Structure 1
Amino acid sequence: MSELVTLKTFLGTWAGGDAGRTAIADTVTAIARAGVGIADLVARGPLEEGLASIRGTDPNAGGDAQKELDVVAEERILDALKPTPTAFLASEESETLIPVNADGRLVVAVDPLDGSSNIDTNVSVGTIYSIMPYDPAVNTDPATAVMRPGSNQVAAGFLAYGPATILVATFGEGTQVFVHDRQTGEFVLARTDVEIPAETKEYGVNQSNMRHWHEPMRRYVEDCLAGKDGPRAKDFNMRWVGSMVADAFRIFTRGGVYVYTGDKRKGYENGRLRLIYEAFPLAFLVEQAKGAATDGKTRILDIEPTHIHQRIPLVFGSRAEVEKIASYY
């Protein structure tokens, strides 16, 4: 049996003593460590009374209802990042960037608990992160460090808290999957250089909103539903968890396409997903796994943000299917 490769070993080899890479490695290690604690809280479910309850009456900075565990998750990540070379933390839960380390040269953008509406239903939730470089001489306004196209990311990933705690990570050299070993406390490399199959017969979308969609997306799904007798000439399966990290991990495991489109409802014109905290890191991970990610037409990593909490439609997964969806537009 080959020797297991831990996250620590993998990052040490990848960094190779380079100061810039070591800073990134230390930051990802801290996020993973925070994720273990968050996973433990999630695993306690109803025993951890009140963490699934709505916090106050106001939405978070991203405009969504905020649960107690959203706030706890952000606090855990912030505490873990304090010893790292992170200058600022940009979070879905906070209106402005949070100062972390005055000497830091990285900015971390995070959705501390993706899928938190599913906490009380025992469905997988997770943490999504993006890391960008920060230069105080250039980024005199710290927000400008994250207000750049996603192609500027130096690392990205997500943790999924389910039956296993999974870390899917990229450092711009492929996408890797690590699994937390509860016996040793280490994250262990489970899959290296993940490749999402280019072709698929599986799509994920909240089809209950179909009546609100714009014509291109409605036609795409109608053609999929028509199966082998329709214009696509093949039968499709539809899978939708409603927790993006869970849907994403399925795609990294067996292919497929994830669709969260904008629609005609007020407040949904640009979908509900955040560009910086969710779309950028997922797009980076997917492209490094030979998949594709767009807003329906435009490559996600080419989009320049106009607002820290900007929302955007998101389509990602198997490259051929993402391109097919774009053809409907």
Structure 2
Amino acid sequence: MQRLIPVLKKDNVELELIMLIRTILAASKEISFRVSQGALAGVLGSTLDENIQGEVQKKLDVIANQLLKGMLLDDDSVRAIASEEEDFVVTGTPKAPYIVAFDPLDGSSNVDINGQIGTIFTIYKAKDDVPDDSELQFAQKGDQQLCAGYVLYGASTLLVMTTGGPTRCYTLDSTHGGYLLTENNFEIPVRTKEFSVNIANYRYWPEKIQCYFDELLYQSDAFSGSSMRWNAAMVGDIHRIISRGGLFLYPQDTRDGNSNGKIRLLYEANPLAFLVENSGGLASSLGKAILEIQPTSLHQRVPVAIGSKEQVEYYNKVTR
């Protein structure tokens, strides 16, 4: 099996970017170890604090954020970072070439039940025409990402990543401490019968979206016999879709603060859309390609439909 760095070199990834990816993965290995220890390391349970999203932070949220934040700010190729757990941009090395955004622990509500969780990250070129600590550093469309990936902590620790070419999977070899290539090129089936959504939110959705699910569950010829899968961790649901197809949905709804759903454009939607589209799938928000959305704020939320091509297209057609 091939190791990560030789694969990246074959893809003609710049050495400085390779070294930055190594920094992120060094943090991921430490997070993976903390996750594997669970209660033995005293990392389960919640803190008394809320993050910028208004969510109660888990202890592992804080630990993962601090690990990534500390290692990235020590890397002299990083000009600034943005985290789902931080209110504002945090500056690193002035005039450095890259900026990094991350969700340190997606699905953290699953921590205490030993469910799926993961780290999502994305790398952009830093902008020289705005201050280093400005949110405008991150006001870049998703199609400008240099690298996107996630690390899924489960029975094995998996890295799924693209640097603009194929979306590949690497498995952490705990014996030698390195990520080894185990899937060279994901190809999402254009049509499947699995979907992932929190159906408990049905009562809050717009009528057209309710009608879509009424058809999907009770009337559809196109997707009859569909099965629902829901992990309560977007990173886990998207991994299943990249691996075998399906549709992930988090629509807008009528609850206060949910007019654009709950998925963050910078930390979740853009990097996962980049991975899915480089696997042959589609990623849209209200019928528009996610990767073409111009960000307007650091913690912007967007409704999403991501997955197999035919399912995304059909959802967009009947809900517009």
Q: TM bucket by the smaller chain?
A: over 0.9
* Higher mean displacement: 22-31 or 201-210: 22-31
What is the distance in 2 between the residues matched to 1:233 and 1:179? 33
The runs of 5 or more residues in structure 2 that have no matched partner are none
2:263 is aligned to: 273
TM-score, L = length of structure 1: 0.92
For 2:35, which of 42, 65, 79 is the aligned residue? 42
What is the distance in 2 between the residues matched to 1:311 and 1:291? 21
How big is the shift at 1:48?
2.2
> Residue 56 of structure 1 aligns to a residue in which SS?
strand
- Do the aligned residues in 2 keep the contact of 1:87 with 1:100 (CA within 8 Å)? yes
For 2:55, which of 39, 43, 64 is the aligned residue? 64
Alpha-carbon deviations, 1:256-279, whole Å to 9, x = none?
010111111112111111110000
What is the distance in 2 between the residues matched to 1:63 and 1:279? 19
Runs (4+) of structure 1 exceeding 3 A deviation are none
Quick check: which one's strand share is greater? Answer: 2
> Residue 327 of structure 1 aligns to a residue in which SS?
helix
What is the distance in 2 between the residues matched to 1:230 and 1:194? 28
Q: Indicate the RMSD between aligned Cα atoms, in angstroms.
A: 1.5
Alpha-carbon deviations, 1:277-299, whole Å to 9, x = none?
00010011111111010113111
Partner AA of 2:38 in structure 1: G
Matched ranges for 1:132-147 at <5 A: 132-136=124-128, 138-140=129-131, 142-147=134-139
Matched ranges for 1:133-212 at <5 A: 133-136=125-128, 138-140=129-131, 142-212=134-204
What is the distance in 1 between the residues matched to 2:114 and 2:223? 37
What is the distance in 2 between the residues matched to 1:100 and 1:121? 35
Partner AA of 1:133 in structure 2: K
How big is the shift at 1:233?
5.7
The runs of 5 or more residues in structure 1 that have no matched partner are none
**Sequence identity of aligned pairs in percent?**
35
Q: Does residue 1:31 correspond to 2:24, yes or no?
A: yes
1:261 is aligned to: 251
Partner AA of 1:25 in structure 2: I
- Do the aligned residues in 1 keep the contact of 2:193 with 2:223 (CA within 8 Å)? no
What is the distance in 2 between the residues matched to 1:233 and 1:126? 30
- Do the aligned residues in 2 keep the contact of 1:293 with 1:316 (CA within 8 Å)? yes
How big is the shift at 1:84?
4.5
> Residue 93 of structure 1 aligns to a residue in which SS?
coil
What is the distance in 2 between the residues matched to 1:164 and 1:175? 18
- Do the aligned residues in 2 keep the contact of 1:23 with 1:84 (CA within 8 Å)? no
For 1:287, which of 267, 272, 277 is the aligned residue? 277
Q: Does residue 1:312 correspond to 2:302, yes or no?
A: yes
For 2:209, which of 203, 206, 217 is the aligned residue? 217
